[in-house]
Structure 1
Amino acid sequence: MRDITYPPVIWTCKTLFKALGQKITISGAENIPLEGGALLASNHIGYVDFVYAGLAAQPANGRLVRFMAKKEVFDHPVGGPIMRSLHHIPVDRGDGIGSFHHAVDFLKKGELVGIFPEATISRAMEIKEFKTGAVRIAAAAGVPVIPVVLWGTQRMMTKDHPKDFSRGKSIHIQVGAPMPVTGDDPVAETAELRSTMSAMLDDVIAGYPADEQPPGSWWLPAKHGGSAPTLERAAEMDAEEKRERARRKAAKAAARKS
């Protein structure tokens, strides 16, 4: 697979991170194979997560990750062509079978594929419930799932908060041990993956610079002394957002008919 766009995009991102004075720590990168397919499953706390999750594979001979992202991103007049040039995978939430097979095909060809099992950003900054897609895709391709946990990315750009690209932020990326999956019981294997990543996230939060996440910080989970919504409240907010999005869509449809 030819990659003309991906290398310069990575170089540009790394240059930008340096200009922003970011302190990026990657641990466990040795868990990513130097060759062969694997599915990287990452938590989702901010809009720039895919950029940093992709960094996790850079120590492994500069390997590239093909991320699964919602179809709407590919429909954007500017972002769409870029996403396609990077060979990322569009996901139609109304009909995901095509993206499923696309991801399996990439994995069988020895590619690294990235996925966010939570599907949407976690307002709680904790690990939300997982979809079973990650396990089912990895099992169908005969590759392991590699858990990846990000922390600090939410401070730049996430739901319900203004963008903040001020200098000096720490970004921690932790890669866990490959998790073999069979797909025989995707619900149980998904629960195991979520439990593993929840424990990893707790470790990453504990090791994050204390002066960058003082008690009460909006980006810190409630159970860690922050003011982020609880998982229960975050679920309510997600449902409210979904209803509002459906209302706006219906209103636009009605306006077009009138």
Structure 2
Amino acid sequence: MAEIVYPPVIRSALLFFRVLDLKINIEGAERIPKTGGAVLVSNHVSYLDFIFAGLAAWPSRRLVRFMAKEEVFANPVAGPLMRGMHHIPVDRSAGAGAFGAAVRALKDGEIVGNFAEATISRSFTIKDIKSGPIRMATDAGVPMIPVAVWGPHRLWTKGRPRKLLQRHVPITILVGEPMHPEPGQPIGDLTTELRRRMSELLDRAQRTYPEIPPGVWWQPAHLGGTAPTPEEAAALDSPRRARPAKPSPDEVS
């Protein structure tokens, strides 16, 4: 397919990152195959993760087709860019269509990006993950590559003000060893193993991150930061929390 939009977008982003003097460190990029399909499975700590996770494949000159919720494609600014870069829209009420499109792309030799946690992790730890990327890789007969990104959440994440022009922020991108799921392997076992590998990568990214002041909001609680614990994050994300409280009898009367 014609690539009119994607490469210029990446080059523009890299130029912008150089202007901001972001310290981008990519390790394990050689694990991204130079040809053929693969599922790139990233953790999710910010609204910018697709940019930085996608950079993991740039040294191999591969372009990652990310699966993203359909609302993004409806945005008047982001939508044309997403379509021009051939990303894959996901209608969460009818996920089979996106799944089929992803498998077709993989069989055509594309790299498909997926955030297996589905939503941003407020605790900055790996949440429970979905089995979708495993089933896609199995159906298409391609490897699955875990990736950890760390640092983009300091620029823009859930529940915090945007700081897109913040300078000198280190960004860590770690690429793990590929997994090769086979038909007949228990999905539960593969999901557990994928989550374990993602957690190990993220933990290494967090522990080796440069310049960590004590008690910062962007560091997970178990490493001394003030981010919500996984339990607190789950409570914040609970649908019940979004519901308005029932009025008291006095308010009704």
TM-score between the two structures when normalised by the length of structure 1:
0.91
Partner of 2:199: 198
Partner of 1:44: 44
Kept in 2: contact 1:135–1:183 (CA 8 A)? no
User: What is the DSSP-based 3-state SS (H/G/I as helix, E as strand, rest coil) of the residue aligned with 1:33?
Assistant: coil
* Whole-Å separation in 1 of the counterparts to 2:222 and 2:181: 30
1:76 matches 2:75:
yes
* Whole-Å separation in 1 of the counterparts to 2:183 and 2:218: 34
Partner of 1:251: none
**Superposition pairs of residues 21-170 of structure 1, within 5 angstroms:** 21-60=21-60, 62-164=61-163, 165-170=165-170
Post-superposition CA distance 1:133-181 (Å, at most 9, x none)? 1101111111111000000010000011111231101000000010011
* Whole-Å separation in 2 of the counterparts to 1:231 and 1:188: 22
How far did 1:187 drift? 1.7
How far did 1:214 drift? 1.5
How far did 1:76 drift? 1.2
Kept in 1: contact 2:148–2:198 (CA 8 A)? yes
Give the paired residue count: 242
Amino acid at match of 1:133: G
1:224 matches 2:223:
yes
Amino acid at match of 1:194: R
* Whole-Å separation in 2 of the counterparts to 1:95 and 1:5: 28
Amino acid at match of 2:103: V
* Whole-Å separation in 2 of the counterparts to 1:176 and 1:44: 16
Q: Which runs of 4+ in 1 moved over 3 A?
A: none
User: What is the DSSP-based 3-state SS (H/G/I as helix, E as strand, rest coil) of the residue aligned with 1:180?
Assistant: coil
CA RMSD after TM alignment: 1.2
Post-superposition CA distance 1:62-87 (Å, at most 9, x none)? 11000000011011122111111100
* Whole-Å separation in 1 of the counterparts to 2:73 and 2:188: 30
* Whole-Å separation in 2 of the counterparts to 1:75 and 1:36: 30
TM-score between the two structures when normalised by the length of structure 2:
0.93
* Whole-Å separation in 2 of the counterparts to 1:229 and 1:186: 30
Amino acid at match of 1:123: R
Partner of 1:256: none
Partner of 1:207: 208
User: What is the DSSP-based 3-state SS (H/G/I as helix, E as strand, rest coil) of the residue aligned with 2:59?
Assistant: coil
Post-superposition CA distance 1:80-113 (Å, at most 9, x none)? 1111110000011111000000000000000011
How far did 1:182 drift? 2.1
Amino acid at match of 1:169: V
**Superposition pairs of residues 3-22 of structure 1, within 5 angstroms:** 3-22=3-22
* Whole-Å separation in 1 of the counterparts to 2:189 and 2:112: 22
User: What is the DSSP-based 3-state SS (H/G/I as helix, E as strand, rest coil) of the residue aligned with 1:202?
Assistant: helix
How far did 1:183 drift? 4.9
How far did 1:215 drift? 1.9
Amino acid at match of 2:192: A
Amino acid at match of 2:100: H
* Whole-Å separation in 1 of the counterparts to 2:156 and 2:39: 25
Percent identity for Structure 1 against Structure 2: 53
User: What is the DSSP-based 3-state SS (H/G/I as helix, E as strand, rest coil) of the residue aligned with 2:159?
Assistant: coil
When structure 1 is superposed on structure 2, of 98-107 and 197-206 the one drifting more is 197-206
